[in-house]
Amino acid sequence: MQLDLSFFSWELISNYVLKGLYFSLYLTVIATIGGVILGTLLAMMRLSGKKWLEIPATIYVNGMRSIPLVMVILWFFLLVPLLIGQPVGAETSAILTFVAFEAAYFSEIMRAGIQSIPRGQVYAGQALGMTYGQNMRLVILPQAFRNMLPVLLTQTIILFQDTSLVYAIGAYDMLKGFETAGRNFGRPMEAYIGAAVVYFVICYSLSLLVKRLQKKIAIIR
């Protein structure tokens, strides 16, 4: 079978790929924001020193990180409608899944970032009369975010790659757009090769930006 390069046309991009790319990017942004917020809360719970906060957060993080993402996607898609008594769309199910799943990974990143801050700064905040929450919000977390920013962005790139797994529940992501185009035009090989190239270009470009950011942060330090 020969490759048909004429398959890659503006009709393909505009009618099939852009819609899927939009959802893939949207899912990545929402999952990153939600995952960082929830992950930061989980990290603070694990570092609080209070067993009633630390134990459930630890179980959640370790449990999520021990389960394949595609299985969690199927769980949310199939089980959540049974629990709430009404159907949940594939896109909504994907968003809920990715926020819940990625929070476990962002939690470990944030926990490492928090622990990288010298304890002296924590003691200084306590000496000024700050509460645990104030100390974290005003002193520790801003520095932890700066230190962990390259790692957070790297995890976001991995998250973008993982969005292709929503294909399993029929959500219309970028891979689904290429697959639909390949099926409609009768060129499945070209469609999957095109999808791989686009994923590579986006992820490799973002990884180069992360490397530049790492150098800038190293200079600041």
Q: What is the pLDDT of residues 53-71, one digit of tens each?
A: 999 999 999 999 999 999 9
Q: What pLDDT was estimated at residue 157? A: 95
Q: Look up the pTM and report it.
A: 0.88
Given a cut of 90, whether residue 129 has pLDDT beyond it is no
Given a cut of 70, whether residue 195 has pLDDT beyond it is yes
Given a cut of 80, whether residue 14 has pLDDT beyond it is no
Quick one: which of 172, 170, 174 has its CA closest to 201?
Answer: 174
**DSSP conformational letter for 136:** I
Please give the distance of CA 176 from its chain centroid, rounded to a whole number. Answer: 19
How far apart CA 30 and CA 64 sit, in angstroms, is 19
Q: What pLDDT was estimated at residue 36? A: 94
Domain boundaries, the chain: 5-220
- The proportion of the chain whose per-residue pLDDT surpasses 90, expressed as a percent, equals 49
Angle between helices 141-162 and 188-220 (to 10 degrees): 170
- Lowest mean pLDDT, pick from 3-12, 24-33, 128-137: 3-12
Mean pLDDT, residues 119-146 taken together: 81
Given a cut of 60, whether residue 5 has pLDDT beyond it is no
Confidence of residue 8 (pLDDT cuts 50, 70, 90): low
Q: What pLDDT was estimated at residue 37? A: 94
CATH topology of domain 5-220: MetI-like fold (1.10.3720)
Highest average pLDDT, of 25-29, 44-48, 109-113, 188-192, comes from: 25-29
Quick one: which of 94, 103, 89, 104 has its CA closest to 73?
Answer: 94
